[in-house]
Amino acid sequence: MVKVEERTETKVIEQLAASVTKKRIGILGGTFNPPHIGHLIMADQVMTQLGLDRVLFMPDANPPHVDRKFAIDATDRVRMVAASIAGNPNFGIELAEIQRGGISYTYDTMLELKRKHPENDYYFIIGGDMVDYLPKWHRIDDLMKLVQFVGVRRENYPVTSKYPVLWVDIPLIDISSTMIRRRIRQGQSIRYFVTDAVAEYIKERQLYHE
């Protein structure tokens, strides 16, 4: 009798869990070296167009495909992301890769997040220029089972992939972290390329001058 009651209770719990609508969480990963207006616009446009509940900015520790000598300390990058998104309750920071350290493989990160937050469905946001590189991502076939990739259309890049990518159109914002770092080294203004808080942080910490 006890076993029947236990099975019934378990079934009820499973039914209740299945009836709960999962949260739709966007993940925007990157080095954010530094974060700029383009990142914010991309996150907001994807969130609103796809009806996501939140977008989490996820700074990486050691990206596998980025020349590390150009990436400043993770602490500074996290603080700048926090400064960029302050005031928007729909944006947040995910520190899984920073806390884990080492090479930031997306598969490892998303496996960890899915285990910790089974109540979430994740939408991984990438630029259209990165879609062609998906076949080279670490354990990409397994990763596809964990997330829905969202591709942001870019001019001169195809919107086709052998993987199931959701495509989103946003205004073309031709700003990059590389451009911003170069302008800082050349003593040029970065106003409106980044938020005022990020610009002030860069100035106070004398970042990117070398």
Taking only the tens place, the pLDDT of each residue in 110-131 is 999 999 999 999 999 999 889 9
Digit-coded pLDDT (tens) for 127-163: 988 998 999 999 999 999 999 999 998 877 777 889 9
d(CA 164, CA 197): 37
| Band (13; pLDDT cuts 50, 70, 90) | low
Mean pLDDT check: name the lowest of 16-20, 164-168, 195-199: 16-20
Q: Please check whether residue 87 lies inside any domain of the structure.
A: yes
Strands of the chain (E only): list them: 23-30, 54-59, 91-93, 120-127, 147-152, 166-168
What is the residue type of 85? Answer: I
Asked if 137 and 143 count as a contact pair (C-beta separation under 8 A), the reply is: yes
Q: Is residue 196 part of a domain?
A: no
Residue 197 within a domain = no
Give the span between the Cα atoms of 97 and 104, in whole angstroms.
6
Percent residues over pLDDT 70 in the chain: 87
pLDDT at site 178: 94
**What average pLDDT does this structure show over 102-114?**
92
**Per-residue model confidence (pLDDT) at position 35:** 98
How many of the other CB atoms lie within 10 Å of CB of 52? Answer: 21
Flag whether 52 is in a domain. Answer: yes
Q: Which residue has the tokens 């002030």?
A: 200
> What CATH number is associated with residue 57?
3.40.50.620
Name the DSSP letter for residue 136.
G
Q: For the beta carbon of residue 192, count every other beta carbon within 10 angstroms.
A: 11
Q: How much is the pLDDT for 150? A: 97
Other Cβ atoms less than 10 A from the Cβ of 39: the count is: 23
Residue 134 lies in a domain: yes
Domain with 142, as residue range(s), is 22-175
How high is the pLDDT of residue 18? 52
Distances in whole angstroms, Cα of residue 64 to Cα of each of 76, 110, 150: 20, 16, 20
- The more confidently predicted of residues 152 and 8 is 152
Task: Kindly state whether residue 151 falls inside one of the protein's structural domains.
Answer: yes
Contact 125, 152 (CB under 8 A): yes
What mean pLDDT, rounded, does the chain reach?
89
- Cα-to-chain-centroid distance, residue 104: 12
pLDDT of residue 2: 45
Domain-located, residue 171 = yes
95: left (phi over 0), alpha (psi -120 to 50) or beta: alpha
Q: Is residue 1 part of a domain?
A: no
Q: What is the pLDDT of residue 1?
A: 46
Q: What is the pLDDT of residue 21?
A: 80
Cβ pair 129, 92 in contact under 8 A? no
Q: Domain count for the chain, please give it.
A: 1
